[in-house]
Chain A
């Protein structure tokens, strides 16, 4: 019963995250569009005063926003595949080749997000050097990279588990 409640809660959370991810994407897209149309308003919204060199940093900020938009479909891949895995656990058949593939897809998407984060951090630090304070978490996220490795290993574990289940099903 508790097991089922946890899975239901996870399922709902993932559905909410999928919606929030798209909303966040729309927000970044809107910010990027606004940055082209109303430059001064964007600076006010970001609470950045008349810092020397802020104009040069604008391209960098736009690049960060564009990279943020690229991250949205990657986020969708992670949440949607995870949702399907959770659904398969609820139906009692988690050890399938499909789930092993989904875990591998999530690992690749997460790897993509980690690489995006590196590029964003590099741009942010370059922008910050121009005098515009940008805080986008420039430090190296060890946990994220570890998660990528764990997911690739877990995908292989699921593949082995699937083979074992198939063997068990064929045992009389």
Chain B
């Protein structure tokens, strides 16, 4: 997959669990897990805004573009 979601690393850096983030951005844990495991097909701006707000990061910190083979 070309777009890599770096949610796991951001959570580790901030010592926050996925469950805690799910509660703070008012999202279900299964949905957030889909994002974390890179199985999501698309992401709403509202979700991106909420995650960046709680984790105090920029969209570029959460999402990374990798070319195939990188």
- The answer to whether A and B belong to the same complex is yes
8 Å CB contact of A170 from B27, B32, B34, B47: B34
Give the distance in Å from the alpha carbon of A92 to the alpha carbon of B39 in the complex: 24
Question: Is B3 an interface residue, CB under 8 A from the partner?
Answer: no
Give the distance in Å from the alpha carbon of A166 to the alpha carbon of B34 in the complex: 14
* Cβ–Cβ < 8 Å partners of B32 in chain A: 172
A126-169 vs B: 1/0 string, CB under 8 Å?
00000000000000000000000000000000000000001101
B32-70 vs A: 1/0 string, CB under 8 Å?
101100011111100100000000000000000000000
Q: Which residue of chain B is the closest to A169 with respect to CB atoms?
A: B41
* Cβ–Cβ < 8 Å partners of A169 in chain B: 41
Chain A's interface size range is under 10
* Cβ–Cβ < 8 Å partners of A166 in chain B: 41
Give the distance in Å from the alpha carbon of A167 to the alpha carbon of B40 in the complex: 9
* Cβ–Cβ < 8 Å partners of B27 in chain A: 172
Give the distance in Å from the alpha carbon of A171 to the alpha carbon of B32 in the complex: 10
* Cβ–Cβ < 8 Å partners of B31 in chain A: 172
CB distance from B39 to the nearest CB of A (A): 7
* Cβ–Cβ < 8 Å partners of B34 in chain A: 170, 172
Give the distance in Å from the alpha carbon of A169 to the alpha carbon of B41 in the complex: 8
Q: Which residue of chain B is the closest to A166 with respect to CB atoms?
A: B41
* Cβ–Cβ < 8 Å partners of B41 in chain A: 166-167, 169-171
Give the distance in Å from the alpha carbon of A170 to the alpha carbon of B27 in the complex: 14
Q: Could you list some 13 contacts between A and B, CB below 8 A?
A: A167-B42, A169-B41, A170-B39, A170-B40, A170-B42, A171-B41, A171-B42, A171-B43, A171-B44, A172-B31, A172-B34, A172-B35, A172-B47
Contact surface of B with A, Cβ cutoff 8 Å: 27, 31-32, 34-35, 39-44, 47
